[in-house]
Chains A and B, each alone.
Chain A
Amino acid sequence: MDIPYTIEARPDTGTYNAKIGMWLFLASEVMLFGGLFSSYILLRVGAPPGTWPHGWLNVPLGTINTCLLSLSAITTLMAWVACKTRNLARFKLFHGLTLLLAIVFLGIKSYEYRDKFHHYEVQLADGRVADGHMIENDPKADHIVLHGSYFKNHAELMERHPDEKEAELTIPRADIKHMENYGPWHNTFLAIYFTLTGLHALHIIGGILVIGYLWGPGSKMWYTNPEQFTNRIEVSGLFWHFVDLVWIFLFPVLYLM
């Protein structure tokens, strides 16, 4: 049985079915991310003054990831153009590049996550706060070692500057009142950061699976039905551009504001 309107346009919609389906799916995705962005706004606007962190994320890495994702949006378009001009070798090259860029994006993101799990805020008995990356945390030792800096109080920690000087800090365990890493449980900002970027990363993984399939085993369709294959590339490209679009908002909202 043939599935209708995989290539030719449906008379009432003016386009093929998969494209309409993808746009409806993207509409539901807008609502999903819209709900989370609304939560972010509500949490941020509702946070008492001086309690919302600024400058906590690695801006150079976020900028590199923005460049990678924007470039992958171009390579996925070039792959579609290669299909349109009936050039399979070019398609393989550009779609392969898209895959590579997506994997590098995920690699950088996982490095950032790892960095947060190694980053600790240590509240000291004298009211000061030590903040930095854990170097030594042997439960048997009477001290810990951090690479970071001291802050007068918790409020000072909310406003980070890129030019802060860091040093190796040896802190006796007896002086520690409370210690916690920068996981999603640490505060509201990190909770929404992990939720938004985690959901986005899941979309990247989904995109990698689809693009990888179309680049590898799925490309067999090229030899039997190149028109339908080209439409599949267009539809998967639409999803990929949406993933790029979400990041275009996530980067400034989480890293820069």
Chain B
Amino acid sequence: MNDSSPENFEGYGRRCLTVFAVVMCVTLAMVGVFYANLSSRPLAIGLTLAAAVVNAGLVASYLMHIISERRLIHIVLLFTGIFAAGLLVLSIGAHWSVPAGTIH
């Protein structure tokens, strides 16, 4: 996004509005799943999480420009992703290694 002519940014503005519209539609779909009160709770959780990941992907890729960012920033984000995923895996792993005799 180095060419700062108004024509160049006109298309960019339209793309941002499209991303906003998609994010809104996905959000409303998530809320719809909540009100639909699906009989399978794991299915509802799975659908809701998938929708959240789609929204986050759109915001990060297009609004934060990750899609067109420098390689260095991609590397920083890759390491962040690995450490954040490790944090989640450790937490979930801890759930399966509760000391014997623990009472809930």
A pairs with B: yes
What is A's interface to B at a CB cutoff of 8 Å?
A: 13-15, 19-20, 23-24, 27, 30-31, 34-35, 37-39, 41-42, 45-46, 48, 59, 63, 66-67, 70-71, 73-74, 77-78, 81, 84-86, 161-162, 238, 241-242, 244-245, 248-249, 251-253, 255-257
A228 to B: closest C-beta gap in Å: 15
Q: Work out how many contacts link A and B, with CB atoms closer than 8 A.
A: 125
Measured as residues with beta carbon below 8 angstroms from the partner, the interface class of chain B is 35 or more
Quick one: which of B38-73 are within 8 Å of A by CB? 44-45, 48-49, 51-52, 55-56, 59-60, 63-64, 70-73
Q: Is the CB of A38 within 8 A of B88?
A: yes
- A-facing residues in B75-95 (Cβ within 8 Å): 76-77, 79-80, 83-84, 87-88, 90-92, 94-95
| A6 → chain B closest CB, angstroms | 17
The CA-CA distance from A251 to B48 in the complex, in Å, is: 10
Q: Chain A: interface secondary structure?
A: helix
In the complex the two chains form, what is the Cα distance from A241 to B66 in whole Å? 12
Residues of chain A within 8 A of B48, CB atoms compared: 252, 256-257
* A31 to B76 Cα, complex, angstroms: 13
A39–B91 contact, CB under 8 A? Answer: yes
A77 B27 Cβ-Cβ under 8 A? no
Residues of B with C-beta under 8 A to A86: 4
Residue of chain B at shortest CB distance from A14: B70
For residue B50, which residue of chain A has the nearest CB?
A252
Question: In the bound complex, do residue B95 and residue A46 qualify as a contact, i.e. CB atoms below 8 Å apart?
Answer: yes
Cβ-defined contact, B20 with A252, below 8 A: no
Name the distance in Å between A226's Cβ and chain B's nearest Cβ.
Answer: 11
Q: In the complex, what distance in Å separates the CA atom of A121 from the CA atom of B66? A: 46
CA distance A101 to B88 in the complex (A): 32
Q: Would you give the 0/1 interface string for B1-18, flagging 1 where the beta carbon is closer than 8 Å to chain A? A: 100111001001100110
